Structure 1
Amino acid sequence: MQQETYWKAASRILGERITRFVRLCRKTASRATEENIHDLRVSARRLAAAQAVFDLEELADLKRAASRIRRSIGKIRDLDVAIGNIRQFAEGVEDSGEIAGCVRQLSSNRRRILRKLRPSLRLMVLKVPLVVPQGEERPFMTEARVYLPPLVDGAQGLELGLRSPENSGPVHRLRIRIKRLRYRIELFGSGLDDRSERWLESCKRVQDRLGDLHDRDVLIGILEKRWEQQIGQGHDGRALSRLLEDVWRDRHRRNAEMLRTLSLGFLEEIRQRALEFQV
């Protein structure tokens, strides 16, 4: 079977991902539901993964615009998750209005970010070239050797840092590495290996576990800041303090469970397979 060339793959993959990203930008500008925000965020990540491999000068403006949108969408998504988690954790907590006030503030922050973002979403237009400039006719799959091993090496180097439950840094960095690796593997698809689907499932499983911890870390930061504001204004902050304790306990429980079950052995399989491709 003839292998797809780098430039044909660029035209196909960028065309598909840019088209979907633009469509979701317009959809989210009209209705910024949690589902649409989530879908746009995932689409933006997949586009970023493609543009990291196919770094075309003709798409530099689109790359910058998509990056700005991705950051703003990420902030909105974090707020959506935080609001949902606060409501879940607040069940059974006696509230004098502190928790409800925190939710109102986060909802206001969400509206403010979205208000600034909407013009960019509406102005996003399709800018992918109809014909991608020709270059070397090398097989696209050789790029796996270049773009996968560094992500694997970085992820493996962060595993030990997860043993410290008070340190959120390794969790966040490993989550980002695994997420990028997952979207890079998607780029190469079944042409990489018949184990690709299993690797993608493993990446998603680890990403979800780390994502749960990250969501708790974001929520803890929000609640601590809000608690300090309440204390500074003369309130007792009791409800927020109780909520913080509950979130911390849940975070420690999830971290301990993750450490018992976390397996990153699949990473070495990916690295070894990628190195088999000749540049």
Structure 2
Amino acid sequence: MNSNIILFVTFLALLSSALAADETETEFHYRKGEEADPSKWSSIKPEWKICGTGKRQSPIDLTPQIAKLVHNSTELLQTYYKPVTATLKNRGYDMMISWTEDAGKVVINKTDYKLVQSHWHAPSEHFLNGERLAMELHMVHKSAEGHLAVIGILFREGAPNAFISRIMDKINSIADKQGGEAIIGQIDPREEFEWDLTKFYEYRGSLTTPPCTEDVNWTIVNKVGTVSREQIDRVVDARRGGYEANARPAQALNGRVVFLNEQARR
């Protein structure tokens, strides 16, 4: 066999290996009992060790029994959003919305956190009163110092979600295209996601995916929205293998203080 044929065969073997790796290898996933499931995240990479050793991990089960009731919601958290053009992206492990311009911010304890992106988990990651719900939206914000604040909105299966209905054709257009993107026009985060901040849980936690960094200020809205079975299925079907149910199990509270903020009655 001459050298050119050998090089060509070697090239084909490497190409085949690379394509297989792209299709099957994931650094982490959610299939229980397999090599990279959530119970093993801490051993996959040294920098992910905190996924197993951390004491402020997320998500958690939120109940009034574990929470300290306070009446300062309007002082604790304020939102300043504005409508700007948004892009939907299929990241393989979730559907993400990002804003091409400054979409505004939240102010938590007098610190500004700029809105970066939003994405969905199905089923929900946080439990509410011991129940795992159908879906959870995470609105990810970052401060100038790099600290994170995430607002979580929970959904039960029921009536269609108005916002997902609005962008369903965009979801369908990139459902089979990992890395695919679609412009979805101007989005005002507060109006489109229709959440109510008169009552919410707040606690200090972590990213719910590796590296599980414990530098997240979590706000979970108490009022639960609805999403239809068709919408859930379409968002889930768009994910690649290992991410069909992209929700980390609930983590230990480890003595953390959880606040249930309720707007004071006038």
The normalised TM-score by structure 1 is 0.24
For the pair shown, which has the larger CA radius of gyration, 1 or 2? 1
Structure richer in helix, relative to its length: 1
The normalised TM-score by structure 2 is 0.25
